[in-house]
Structure 1
């Protein structure tokens, strides 16, 4: 009696037996490259923005124009930097021997996505490290209130104590940007005592400041909401760019494609 044996050949990905699919060296390299590129481009964009803007009314680029240009620049920087970082990660990752083309493309793209996530975490860590500078916002707010106090006291000869009192009153605005009745009366009294204005004119000046402050706060809220939406949308688009960059780098790696400047030098 004879028997036959069927020998099955199992093809496996040898790389998966000895290595994790995720190569962190390539990921960190891509993340650092993306962070460095974004840092340089943001610094360049900040320099250009300062050169075309002006603190004086009617000079330099308008505020709305500058805001739109800034938003577009943030979008470009995030997408470009993460495409470059994803490409570096995909190019440096070791080839997946025995894996299907779809698996290779997914792993390369996944490396790009992890570069994106790592880069965002690096940026968040740097932002948190620099958040100590946010304490200066309180001093900046007091400075703004002091400037507003000088404005409403214009035309008079108020001493430092009266200016500080007005600034403290302005700092006590409610969440709706309104002053209490007592604070309005106190501010109007100080203004009337230190200027040639009547009490009614002093109250009108306080009301004008309140209206301007509310309009400025509302505009700042809208700009903050738009900026937050832009940042989130830019991050999502940059994630797609990082995935694309990782896949592109992997294809160039498998094809042994030279870089443009390498080809030109040859």
Structure 2
């Protein structure tokens, strides 16, 4: 029986045949994601976003002034900030998405619908990477450059807020301290012991400064011990009236009347300060909520613009 002998297969020819087969296969030469194009678009978008943010901080600080009737108003500053952030997001996202679509590898033998989807995905991925990179930069050392001006402006606001807070809950400190060092409540305590011009008190001349300071501190504690919604108890009025009468030479009746009047003025001032502090806190809460919502809108718009720009760049690449 005759046998047929097969010729040995050359390994080089076999490998060349496999290479040709894989080269002819559209699946092997097509990559769904071009990470190089995405990284390039994200880098360009993040850089442009950072530059525009720094420019916005410079323009914003140049338009704000701590002096009254100078610079833009708070409402105008808030609106301009929202507009600038939205514009920054749109421009940087459009550039990043366009570059991601334009620089990608051209897909051969791919359905047009699939190409459109991949271009959109490339733009979205470029926007996502750029947003994460920008967020990382803003929380690093570069963020201190942007927050420096904000801290300078916040120092003025912090001074006003601290004054309102002290006025709302100021307590006269014990010890020989001046009225400026004891807080806003000390003004009303000092008003209790104020004498008319030309009137001297023998008792006062015999007292030491430490004793006078201790009495003032005691009156301050009496004033702050009572709730602002309640009147001063009669026994406290009588006791404080005795101290005022000894220090000023007034009669007990007039001294008690002064105590009642000054206590009412102090409570009214503290109530006004508390209302102002609550109003400022409520405005800050609303401003933070609006800022978060508008930031969400601007980021969402940036994602859409980046995806759209990537499809435009992809069509130009394939043209």
1:183-262 equivalences under 5 Å are: 185=224, 198-255=262-319
Which residue of 158, 163, 169 maps to 2:179? 158
1:72-97 residue CA offsets vs partner (Å, 9 max, x unmatched): 11111101110100011111101001
Aligned equivalents of 2:101 and 2:265: distance in 1? Answer: 69
1:18 is displaced (CA, Å) by 4.9
1:235 is displaced (CA, Å) by 1.0
Count of residues in Structure 1 that have an aligned counterpart in Structure 2: 218
* Between 15-24 and 203-212, the greater mean CA deviation after superposition: 15-24
Q: Considering only CA atoms, is the larger Rg found in Structure 1 or Structure 2?
A: 2
Which residue of 23, 28, 52 maps to 2:39? 28
1:58 is displaced (CA, Å) by 1.3
1:200 is displaced (CA, Å) by 2.2
1:117 is displaced (CA, Å) by 1.1
| 1:59 corresponding residue in structure 2 | 70
Aligned equivalents of 2:44 and 2:273: distance in 1? Answer: 48
Specify every segment of 5 or more residues in structure 1 that has no aligned partner in the other structure, as ranges: 1-11, 167-181, 189-196, 256-266
1:90 is the counterpart of 2:129? no
1:212-247 residue CA offsets vs partner (Å, 9 max, x unmatched): 010011111111111111011111111110001111
Structure 1 pair 41/128, CA: closer, same or farther in 2 (3 Å)? closer
Aligned equivalents of 1:37 and 1:116: distance in 2? Answer: 12
1:74 is the counterpart of 2:74? no
| 1:171 corresponding residue in structure 2 | none
1:104 is the counterpart of 2:107? no
TM-score by length of structure 1 reads: 0.69
What's the C-alpha RMSD, in Å, of the aligned pairs?
Answer: 3.8
Structure 1 pair 206/165, CA: closer, same or farther in 2 (3 Å)? closer
1:48 is displaced (CA, Å) by 1.2
Specify every segment of 5 or more residues in structure 2 that has no aligned partner in the other structure, as ranges: 1-22, 171-176, 187-220, 229-260
Structure 1 pair 132/68, CA: closer, same or farther in 2 (3 Å)? closer
1:209 is displaced (CA, Å) by 1.1
8 Å contact from structure 1 (residues 82, 241) kept in 2? yes
1:129 is displaced (CA, Å) by 3.6
